[in-house]
Amino acid sequence: MRELKLMKGNEAIAEAAIRYGVDGYFGYPITPQSEVMETLMAMRPWETTGMVVLQAESEVASINMLYGGAGSGKRVMTSSSSPGISLMQEGISYIAGAELPCVIVNVVRGGPGLGTIQPSQSDYFQAVKGGGHGDYKLIVLAPSSVQEMVDFVGLAFDLAFKYRNPAMILSDGVIGQMMEKVEFDEYKPRWTREEIIAKNPWAATGKPPTRERNIITSLHLQAVDQEKQNIKLQAKYKEIQEKEVRYETYLCDDAEYLIVAFGSSARISKKSVEIAREKGIKVGLLRPITLFPFPYKEIGAYTDQVKGILTVEMNAGQMVEDVRLAVEGKVKVEHYGRMGGMISSPDEVENALEELIIGG
């Protein structure tokens, strides 16, 4: 039986990590996500599952501890919020270049700079286009409930290991701080040493006489080797784009208009859809769950059906570019968003739909 609790997103993701058999967490405090590490430290998983929890001296250190840990073939995770994630960009690029699986949680707050600690979605570009240098992609999952904070821990690790690619859970202050009912699976045992070696033959676990040495690296001094690596990476990203798109629709079947929104904006937009429907406006909600891979095709398919699309984001308009790329000018696409920690009300969104899309 699944266990029912009332929990904050940040607490839930911590407990989910322990239950999923994560091997290590490395992090540094920052609002609005400090409860992740606090919960782990309070639960003392090193006494139960054997999970390691360590407070690093900075986010730069955290991400590089993750880099080391991931190279061991173990399940490792960090969490932070926007400024801390910016500090991790070099490390993230290395991890992506070395093709290591790991999970990075960003509980986004408003920027730029020190900004505010209130919720935001303004790190979309950073997460999906690559905030670090070089051509790489993270697998990006956007939870919109505390339950998904829990469920996506497992999903993120599964995808990360399947593709040997870092995965990011792009959450925000709303999901991190709110409490909801949440159900947990039973504890899963951590992988044994033998399982790790069997599943991750590439891992640097000590070179036995039976194999060549394993080298975890992102370095390819010669351009021709680097290009080969880039081609390999791009092929992988293409495969992910083809196979791993996840999204959810709500009242889209007869929709004449579409709202596209992720994470907590999608929750708010759901209510806006209800308000609009009450007014007789046929609008549906498409919620991308994976931000990379983005549901380009799936959104593109609606261009025959709908007359306009509104993206709702807590930022100045970021995902809207991907939606525009998806529809290729076939229908009107507009963006509505509050910024800097302000959160739209469902009514505002509904108004925006009427003004920008239906009326506009």
Partner 1 sequence: MIDIKDIVKPENLVFKKSRVLTDNPMHYCPGCSHGVVHNLIAEIIEEMDIQDNVIGVAPVGCSVLAYNYIDIDWHEAAHGRAPALATGIKRLMPEKFVFTYQGDGDLAAIGTAETIHACNRGENITIVFINNGIYGMTGGQMAPTTLEGMVASTCPSGREHARDGYPIKITELLAQLPGTCYVTRQAVHTAGSVRKTKKALRKAFENQTRNRGTSIVEVVSTCNSGWKMSPVKANDWMVENMFPFYPLGDLKDE
Partner 2 sequence: MKEEIIIAGFGGQGVLSMGKILAYSGVMQGMEVSWMPSYGPEMRGGTANVTVILSDEPISSPILHEFDTAIILNQQSMDKFEKAVKPGGTLIYDGNGITHHPSRKDINIYRVDATAEAVKMRSVKTFNMIVLGAYLKLKNIVDMENVLKGLKKSLPERHHHLIPMNEKAILRGGEIIQEISVVE
Ligand X SMILES: Cc1ncc(C[n+]2csc(CCOP(=O)(O)OP(=O)(O)O)c2C)c(N)n1
Residues that bind ligand X (CB under 6 A): 28-30, 59, 83-84, 87
For position 4 contacting partner 2 by CB under 8 A, the verdict is yes
CB 48 within 8 A of CB 218: no
Starting at the earlier edge strand, list the strands of the sheet with 52-55. Answer: 52-55, 24-27, 76-80, 102-108, 166-172, 139-141, 290-292
**Closer by beta carbon to partner 2, 86 or else 264:** 264
Q: Which does 181 bind (CB under 5 to 8 A by kind): its own copies, partner 2, partner 1, none?
A: partner 2
Tell me which residues in 213-252 interact with its own copies (CB under 8 A): 217-231, 233-234
CA–CA dist 223, 200 (Å, integer): 28
- 346: cis peptide before it, omega within 30°? no
For position 114 contacting partner 1 by CB under 8 A, the verdict is yes
**13, containing H or E segment:** helix 9-19
Q: Cα–Cα distances in Å, from 48 out to 23, 51, 98, 150, 228?
A: 12, 8, 31, 19, 43
Candidates 144-152, 180-188, 252-260, 328-336: pick the segment binding its own copies (CB under 8 A): 328-336
List all residues 6 or more positions away from 105 whose beta carbon is below 8 Å from its beta carbon. 13, 33, 36, 77, 78, 79, 80, 168, 169, 171
Mask of contacts with partner 1, 14-33, x by CB under 8 A?
---------xx-x-xxxx--
Q: Is 310 helix (H, G, I), strand (E, B) or coil?
A: strand
Q: Which does 316 bind (CB under 5 to 8 A by kind): partner 2, partner 1, ligand X, none?
A: none
- CA angle at 268 for the pair 328 and 159, rounded to the nearest 5°: 65
Of 129, 181, 193, 207, which one interacts with partner 2 (CB under 8 A)? 181
**Closer by beta carbon to ligand X, 83 or else 300:** 83
Mask of contacts with partner 1, 44-83, x by CB under 8 A?
x-x-----x-xxxxxxxxx-xxxxxxxxx-x-x------x
Of 324, 334, 336, 357, which one interacts with its own copies (CB under 8 A)? 324
Of 116, 125, 185, 204, which one interacts with partner 1 (CB under 8 A)? 204
State the number of CA atoms in the 13 A half-sphere of 213 facing the CB: 3
φ, ψ for residue 308 (rounded to 5)?
-170, 155
Judged by the rule CB under 8 A, the positions of this chain that interact with partner 1 are 23-24, 26, 28-31, 34, 37-38, 41-42, 44, 46, 52, 54-62, 64-72, 74, 76, 83, 90-91, 94, 98, 113-114, 204-209, 213-219, 221
